[in-house]
Amino acid sequence: MYKTHKIAILGASGYTGAELVRLIATHPKMEVVALSADRKAGMEMSEVFPHLRHLALPTLCKIDEIDFSDVDLCFCALPHATSQRVIKVLPKTLKVVDLSADFRLRDPEEYVKWYGGEHDALECQAEAVYGLTEFYREDIRSARLVAGTGCNAATGQYMLSPLIKAGVIDFDHIILDLKCAVSGAGRSLKENLLHAELSEGYHAYAVGGKHRHLGEFDQEFSKLAGREVRIQFTPHLVPANRGILGTAYVHGNAQEVHDTLVTAYHDEPFVKVLPFGEVPSTKHIRASNFCHVGVVADRIEGRVIVIAALDNLTKGSSGQALQNANLMLGEEETEGLMLAPVFP
Amino acid sequence: MYKTHKIAILGASGYTGAELVRLIATHPKMEVVALSADRKAGMEMSEVFPHLRHLALPTLCKIDEIDFSDVDLCFCALPHATSQRVIKVLPKTLKVVDLSADFRLRDPEEYVKWYGGEHDALECQAEAVYGLTEFYREDIRSARLVAGTGCNAATGQYMLSPLIKAGVIDFDHIILDLKCAVSGAGRSLKENLLHAELSEGYHAYAVGGKHRHLGEFDQEFSKLAGREVRIQFTPHLVPANRGILGTAYVHGNAQEVHDTLVTAYHDEPFVKVLPFGEVPSTKHIRASNFCHVGVVADRIEGRVIVIAALDNLTKGSSGQALQNANLMLGEEETEGLMLAPVFP
Amino acid sequence: MYKTHKIAILGASGYTGAELVRLIATHPKMEVVALSADRKAGMEMSEVFPHLRHLALPTLCKIDEIDFSDVDLCFCALPHATSQRVIKVLPKTLKVVDLSADFRLRDPEEYVKWYGGEHDALECQAEAVYGLTEFYREDIRSARLVAGTGCNAATGQYMLSPLIKAGVIDFDHIILDLKCAVSGAGRSLKENLLHAELSEGYHAYAVGGKHRHLGEFDQEFSKLAGREVRIQFTPHLVPANRGILGTAYVHGNAQEVHDTLVTAYHDEPFVKVLPFGEVPSTKHIRASNFCHVGVVADRIEGRVIVIAALDNLTKGSSGQALQNANLMLGEEETEGLMLAPVFP
Amino acid sequence: MYKTHKIAILGASGYTGAELVRLIATHPKMEVVALSADRKAGMEMSEVFPHLRHLALPTLCKIDEIDFSDVDLCFCALPHATSQRVIKVLPKTLKVVDLSADFRLRDPEEYVKWYGGEHDALECQAEAVYGLTEFYREDIRSARLVAGTGCNAATGQYMLSPLIKAGVIDFDHIILDLKCAVSGAGRSLKENLLHAELSEGYHAYAVGGKHRHLGEFDQEFSKLAGREVRIQFTPHLVPANRGILGTAYVHGNAQEVHDTLVTAYHDEPFVKVLPFGEVPSTKHIRASNFCHVGVVADRIEGRVIVIAALDNLTKGSSGQALQNANLMLGEEETEGLMLAPVFP
């Protein structure tokens, strides 16, 4: 089959890189022409990710070995901070979807606040479009550089953004309790990510407003509300590999909340609002680009629970990136992304 | 070793029954003299629970085959509704620790509301003591019938009861988001409890104020507050076997909340309050009778997160029952219960 | 996109039925026109399998409500014994891929021996083709009724059939130790399949030559060898959802064994032989139609270990069935099946 | 309670160190007086292992800070190679139970062969007793230095040693297929031990006779047989935290094999032979010092399957070490070790 778009993936030896390759493998209009992984340059992708053994893929290389004149779009799946230094020196005409946190925060001071250092590529930041497709679709279509959102940030925004925009919930009482699977932490060698440490155990982390994705919530929710909005956000790590389940506690009218979400996502191919009173499960969106959202009225009048589930590696990261890339390349937004969830 | 107290366990073929046997196996003052399991009467415990193979245990029998004159204390690990019918006809002098929900709610109307039918043993209900040891210790010491609390109800009360009693949190803004392991659902054959359905997936259930343990929260928190208190409570099922992690969102002063809990549990052998700002994990209390509680201040002034972890089968059920039984029999409360958590 | 082939799936409420729907969802030439599930007739597929919520699928119905004149090919994912009674009365011109065990054994006496009763549709058995695509490709292409193999049987044959055919291993010393994930047991409510029972534990079952898939091994290996071949086969249940890992202990020359497998699978799209000395993992074929095979020489001269991994629900069942259906319908064998494995 | 024996644990920050502390916590005759962990010296054990938070334990220190004149017995849970250098310079009168591999192989050449370097403490090796309690009980009782066996090596010997000693199986056809949980790999930061890599996947490793525990099998089996015995041994890593399941394929008479094991373990407190034809599961020995062994006759005359399950951290390592320490200190062998397995 003729492949229209030539794709490079920088940082291909991490989970989001591998997920991009998995998705592009059955994409009818994309062809991977370059894969970088600095420390693993020279290795075959099948050595790093044997599950991709059946694919004919370019050998892993260093970034400066890539001829970007031959590339239509570049996915950047590098670590935070590294990403900005790399993207800064890429050809300025190259379309880029960045999966790191580097270009998510428009205000440089917010970047310093949440990431602890000066931003190194503010000129790129200026042109970056925030990459939550459903809310920035038209901007993304014409963007050169798109900043993929955080996986937790995506989950919370799918649940709350339409509600804040419509003003149907109390902005001062928003609590988001998130349950995240472990692949969100990446392929990093940390003791608490070991199977023996995580399996059969679960716990909260970054409790009390310390998680960096709060920067995105603050930015996007305040913009939508037209005033400062600060939510409470507690992520938890649970013993599963893929999935984020968000449970939001808000004040409002449950039926109105449900109606607002149904309307907001009526024509969306990937965000599915469940019938009123039903709740989603991560097992029903695993390895797919779908997000399921449910709304339940609490027994206490005026209190509403909104629950959403998505796959952090797909809809929360690489699937979202591909969705954006489709738009940037003038393709159908859903191309290559209609894979059904894997269950059981 | 000489064993002082002769113990019967009714409903020994369920998880809480097995957990009682596990704990009593190394208890220096108790001896299991009778084990009932109606449908499995005649079988050996080692056939039903091969992990108990090394123990010399009585053959499973029907309840009416037990000579209760030979029994000092009876644990009743039967299903809800069955329990009240059985306990009603047990000798009135027999000490009983019930692990079911049947005698937890003092108000018969509340029982009807949450359990959907008339109570069949109201005369027993009248004498039942609510079995959360740390809060009813003296009553339990002299009780004949103790009603073990729900595992979720226990978790929430360890987190919130001292705070409500001390009046240091806003009674109208209490949200409890719970993450429960699957053994809490018992050994019941339900599709959503299958490994293939649960592993790698997680979801909320009984959302919006439908979970029966709310009856216990309403009863105990209102009693402590001296007014009606209604909390929001959302349980989630996570892919693990043992453990409950509760995340409570309350309004108050974080340091005061921490101080209150430290004071409340200062002399408690099993409830451990972590240093301010630290949070517990279920992996650190697994298979033990310990409960770890942590307090963190949110970035929003006046908002506090309280997190607790306990093992639903031990501290949330059978360990708690044994703790109560120790008191009822005049033994050290900690006897047989100081087993260290199993990690990893 | 124009869909050429109209597909019915009988028994759509089980895991293999759901897996068929998942795979067909992105198949460019197939359209699901009927889904049966006797006890769940009238329900929507999205109620039974919410992960398929995004698909427009026919409502579940009873088999006799299906107009088979409108169907090009029927997948039969019914339980063993039921399948033969249903297929017996289907239109004799309808192409059928059966996923049950009912038509795998050509010798009626073998059927009685392994399945414990008389076969009810011997006339269908007579025309059934054994459905391991790689070994019966040409027969399948022209078959009306194809009998999908057992998932364990498929695994063992991928490892051993080329070796037996080539005569490079000792037929009297073949041991197959299999480690199976739990979805192979289906969506059945059994105590040992509960998460609380299976998670964190593993064990052998049907030990000593009792597993029914031995009937297939006996049939196929003896046919290839031209003499009776009886292997030792021990399946184990491990705490995972998808995957079979087979470890075979054979006598022969390791390099010759590897060469034989490399040659046998050289042009196969789905069976991949690893470089000599490397071994596969189930994590690298999850949710895909690929089978990875590795060969290692033992330290003892003349002893060889052959290891293979496949996904029991995909390559071991529904993927294999679709691969056969592609051939029966004159399509590319790989159509709809090139989905990359899901990792992590 | 008066504690007779003062215990030091070197290398207390690993899993076997933590498991020793867990077991000793309820041991009536032992008191932990020193805990070393070089890189974590100065930390509290509860910081490294929060599940031990309820215990009053000495602060972690460096080895040379320990006053060994105050120590009755020292458990050495250090890494291989480190252990020999440390034990070499410990007081020569100090009782030591080593959990590393350093003193398991009596023949220095075998040590070089399997561990790839010269042994640094051959004079200690000379006095070391191989620590599989059931087979070296009397030697251990009077030993100064006991070398704990490998967890895989222990499993295989419980299955095979009595059979080899009795000569009831063919020494030239012994295959041991082992399924190991991940805690056996220790708390080491390796990619393949991450939850995201291991969960839901399983694979063989060290295939073909490369696993170091073969050194122990060769040594012990050859000694028992009075001739060289070489077995085939393939370990597999499965997604669970605790447990080893060994499946041995041997030639012999199944009933005779069973009888031999029943006789051999008749009076053993921890090794339990199941009724003929029954098989064990790791879930039934979890977190305990028990080993379950089953025997099944294969359908092929003269072929026998022997299956055993034990917990690698308890019976395979720290429990075994404590069992030996009890003997060395003149206590009951079972003291502190009768904890029932944890299920579910």
pLDDT digits (tens, 9 = 90+) for B201-244: 999 999 999 999 999 999 999 999 999 999 999 999 999 999 99
Report the neighbours of B using a cutoff of 3 or more CB pairs below 8 angstroms: A, C, D
**Range(s) within chain C of domains with CATH label 3.30.360.10:** 152-312
Mean pLDDT score, C73-98: 97
Tens digits of residue pLDDT in A277-287: 999 999 999 99
CATH class for the region spanning D5-149+315-328: alpha beta
Q: What average pLDDT does range A116-126 have in this prediction?
A: 95
Residues of chain D with C-beta less than 8 angstroms from the C-beta of C284: 201
pLDDT score of A321 more than 90: yes
Mean pLDDT, chain C, whole residue set? 97
* Domain(s) of CATH 3.40.50.720: residues in chain A: 5-149+315-328
**What is the per-residue pLDDT for B2?**
62
CA–chain centroid gap for B129, Å, is: 14
Mutate to test the interface with C, among D155, D179, D303 (most CBs of C within 10 A): D179
Cα–Cα dist A83/A128, whole Å: 13
Check B286 against A247: CB less than 8 A apart: no
Asked if C96 contacts C76 with a C-beta cutoff of 8 angstroms, the reply is yes
Residue in chain A nearest C243 by alpha carbon: A344
Q: What one-character-per-residue DSSP string does A86-140 give? A: HHHTS-TTSEEEE-SSTTS-SSHHHHHHHHSS--S-HHHHHH-EE--HHHHHHHH
Estimate to the nearest angstrom the gap between the alpha carbon of D187 and the chain centroid. 16
Is residue A95 scored above 70 in pLDDT?
yes
Q: Virtual CA dihedral for B298, B300, B302, B308, nearest 10 degrees? A: -20
Q: Chain C: residue nearest A18 by CA?
A: C343
Distance from CA of C198 to the nearest CA of B (A): 7
- C52·A340 Cβ contact <8 A: yes
Domain C152-312 belongs to what architecture?
2-Layer Sandwich (3.30)
Question: What are C's interface residues with A at a Cβ cutoff of 8 A?
Answer: 15, 18, 21-22, 25-26, 49-55, 183, 199-200, 241-242, 269-270, 272, 280-281, 283-288, 290, 292, 313, 338-344
Asked if B306 contacts B294 with a C-beta cutoff of 8 angstroms, the reply is yes
DSSP code of residue B99: -
Q: Which pLDDT score is estimated for A188?
A: 87
Residue with tokens 């003269």: D302
Chain B nearest CA to A334, separation (Å): 25
B201/A307 Cβ within 8 A: no
Please state the φ and ψ torsions of residue D293, each to the nearest 5 degrees. Answer: -125, 135
Q: Which CATH architecture has domain A152-311?
A: 2-Layer Sandwich (3.30)
Q: What's the ipTM?
A: 0.96
Smallest CA-to-CA distance from B11 within B244, B318, B319, B331 is with B318
pLDDT tops 80 at residue A153: yes
Structure-token pair, residue B168 = 């240091």
Pull the structure tokens for residue C273: 């032989």
Label residue C290 exposed, middle or buried (CB < 10 Å: 0-12, 13-18, 19+): buried
Nearest to A299 among B201, B208, B344 (CB): B208
Query: Which residue of B lies nearest to A194 if distances are taken between CA atoms?
Result: B344
Please state, in angstroms and rounded to a whole number, the distance separating the CA atoms of residues C35 and C55. Answer: 13
**DSSP calls for B74-94:** EEE-PPTTHHHHHHHTS-TTS
The answer to whether the bond into C344 is cis (omega within 30° of 0) is yes
**Is residue B48 classed as helix, strand or coil in its secondary structure?**
helix
Nearest CA in chain B to C199: B195
Contact D209 C300 (CB under 8 A): yes
Q: pLDDT tens digits, residue range A188-239?
A: 899 989 999 999 899 999 999 999 999 999 999 999 999 999 999 999 999 9
Q: A239: which chain D residues are within 8 Å (Cβ-Cβ)? A: 195, 199
Q: Give the closest-approach CA distance of B242 to chain C in angstroms.
A: 8
Tell me what pLDDT residue D188 has: 87
Of A131, A146, A111, A10, the C-alpha closest to A66 is: A10
Mind giving me the DSSP string for B259-313?
HHHHHHTTT-SSEEEPPTT---BGGGTTTSS-EEEEEEE-SSTTEEEEEEEE-TT
Give residue-wise pLDDT tens across range D32-63: 999 999 999 999 999 999 999 999 999 999 99
Give A17's contacts (C-beta < 8 A, 6+ positions apart). Answer: A9, A11, A35, A37, A75, A77, A318
Q: Does residue A80 carry a pLDDT above 60? A: yes
Report the mean per-residue pLDDT for chain D: 97
Interchain contact, B202 vs A280, CB within 8 Å: no
Which pLDDT tens digit goes with each residue over D175-219?
Answer: 999 999 999 988 889 998 999 999 989 999 999 999 999 999 999
The pLDDT mean for chain A works out to 97
Cβ atoms of A321 and A20 within 8 Å: the answer is yes
- What pLDDT score was predicted for residue A87? 98
Q: What residue spans in chain D does CATH classification 3.30.360.10 cover? A: 152-311
The rounded distance, in Å, linking the Cα atoms of B95 and B144 is 5
Residue D221, token pair as written in the block: 């089996």
Does the pLDDT at position A3 exceed 90? no
Catalytic residues of A: 151
Element (H, E) at B172: none
- Give CA–CA dist A180/C281, Å, rounded: 25
Q: Using DSSP, state whether B114 is helix, strand or coil.
A: helix
Separation between Cα atoms, residue D272 and residue D315, nearest integer Å: 13
Nearest Cα to Cα of residue D126 among D87, D164, D172: D87
pLDDT < 50 stretches in chain B:
1
Q: Which chains form contacts with chain A, at 3 or more CB pairs under 8 Å?
A: B, C, D
The arithmetic mean of pLDDT across residues A288-307, rounded, is: 98
Which residues of A fall within a CB distance of 8 Å from D198? 195
Residue contact C344–A183, C-beta within 8 A: yes
Q: What is the mean pLDDT of residues D235-255?
A: 98
Asked if residue A2 has pLDDT above 70, the reply is no
Q: What is the pLDDT of residue B188?
A: 87
Residue-by-residue DSSP string for C156-204: HHHHHHHHHHHT-B-TT--EEEEEE-GGGG-S---GGGBHHHHTT--EE
Residue C255 structure tokens: 């390099």
User: Mutate which of A180, A193, A195, A241 to disrupt the D interface (most D C-beta within 10 Å)?
Assistant: A195
Between vectors from CA D337 to CA D333 and to CA D341, what angle results, nearest 5°?
Answer: 145
Q: What is the pLDDT of residues B146-186, one digit of tens each?
A: 999 999 999 999 999 999 999 999 999 999 999 999 999 98
Nearest C-alpha neighbor of B210 from the set B278, B115, B297:
B115
Return the bridge partners of C336, or none: none
- Tell me which chain D residue has its CA closest to the CA of residue A182: D196
**Binning pLDDT at 50, 70 and 90, where does residue D165 land?**
very high
**Distance of alpha carbon A35 from alpha carbon D191, whole angstroms:** 21
CA–CA–CA angle A303, A308, A312 (5° rounding): 145
Question: Please, which chains are in contact with D (at least 3 CB pairs closer than 8 A)?
Answer: A, B, C
Look up residue A295 and give its two tokens: 């709304």
String of DSSP letters for A27-57: -TTEEEEEEE-GGGTTS-HHHH-GGGTTS--
Interface test with B, best of A155, A175, A284 (most B CBs within 10 A): A175
